[in-house]
Amino acid sequence: MPALLIVEDEPHMRQGLKDNLLFEGYDVDLAADGEEGLRKMTERAYDLVILDVMLPRKSGFDVCQEARRQGLQTPIIMLTARGEEVDRVLGLEFGADDYVTKPFSLRELLARIKAVLRRQQVVMPPAQRLAIGCLEVDFGSYEAARDGAPVAMTHLEFEVLRYLHAHAQHTVSREQLLTDVWGYDDQPTTRTVDNFILKLRQKIEADPAHPRHILTVHGVGYKMIP
């Protein structure tokens, strides 16, 4: 039974999510503020965390950033305010795996949860060390370095890189990435892929504004040139 942590300060939202997720067969814990959420993340190995951005005592951004700084790779879905694209971008930059915009349907959230959990269960190919642009990547230990200095990356960032490298020199559509890496059955209207590519370019490219290794194929998707 997958264990989920919901970090949400609004009582009705928090309890409503718990009741619905319990009904779906998940083991659910709750936290009412950022500090409590971060503490619980360090005390128990959750399969997934649902993390609101606007929290008392410590914001969702701070919780996500601190968790990644401590080496916690637990998948995180952030709940962001409607129309606040900056929240979605910042969440991904701080290490979130996905986001859902409020107000959202339970069906959408369940689909995102299932997609993230399914992605975590995929059997990965043998370990492989690669140099991609300025980044040295070890897919076996999930470690990365640039000019000898460690670079913090999420599990999903490694998998996006792995997928693009496996299809090097070929154009990969956003739909392919959402299906094969994110694990979505239905294609959401989201800029998640584009935001992840921007993040990866910052870590890989010598000049992210003029990329040489992850190229945009306008109207289609992306192509990796190792």
**pLDDT value, residue 108:** 86
Give 166 or 63, the one with higher predicted confidence: 63
**pLDDT value, residue 1:** 84
- Domain layout of the chain by residue ranges: 3-120, 129-224
- Cβ atoms within 10 Å of 25's Cβ, excluding its own: 8
Pairing assessment for the beta strands 214-217 and 149-150 based on DSSP bridges: unpaired
Phi, then psi, of 120 in degrees rounded to 5? -70, -25
Domain 129-224: assigned CATH number: 1.10.10.10
Q: Is the peptide bond before 103 cis (omega within 30 degrees of 0)?
A: yes
Q: Per-residue pLDDT for 60 more than 50?
A: yes
Any residues with CB less than 8 A from the CB of 213 and at least 6 apart, and which? 132, 133, 204, 205, 224, 225, 226
Q: Are 37 and 78 in contact (CB under 8 A)?
A: no
Tens-place pLDDT, residues 164-197: 888 888 999 888 888 878 776 665 555 778 888 9
**pLDDT value, residue 128:** 79
**pLDDT value, residue 123:** 47
127 exposed, middle or buried (CB, 10 Å; 0-12, 13-18, 19+)? Answer: exposed
**pLDDT value, residue 186:** 61
Q: Per-residue pLDDT for 125 more than 60?
A: no
Nearest Cα residue to 190 out of 118, 96, 124 = 96
**pLDDT value, residue 31:** 96
Q: Per-residue pLDDT for 121 more than 90?
A: no
Mean pLDDT of 101-123: 80
Mean pLDDT of 95-124: 80
Locate 107 and state its tokens. 């069906």
Q: In sequence order, which ranges of the chain are alpha helices (DSSP H)? A: 11-23, 34-43, 60-69, 85-93, 106-120, 155-166, 174-177, 192-204
Question: In the CATH scheme, what architecture does the domain 3-120 have?
Answer: 3-Layer(aba) Sandwich (3.40)
Give the CA radius of gyration of the chain.
Answer: 17
167 exposed, middle or buried (CB, 10 Å; 0-12, 13-18, 19+)? Answer: middle
Give 5 or 190, the one with higher predicted confidence: 5
Q: Per-residue pLDDT for 122 more than 60?
A: no
pTM, full prediction: 0.63
- Cβ atoms within 10 Å of 173's Cβ, excluding its own: 14
Q: Per-residue pLDDT for 129 more than 50?
A: yes
> Which contiguous run of DSSP H or E holds residue 76?
strand 76-80
| Pairwise CA distance, residues 45 & 24, whole Å | 20
Mean pLDDT of 110-114: 88
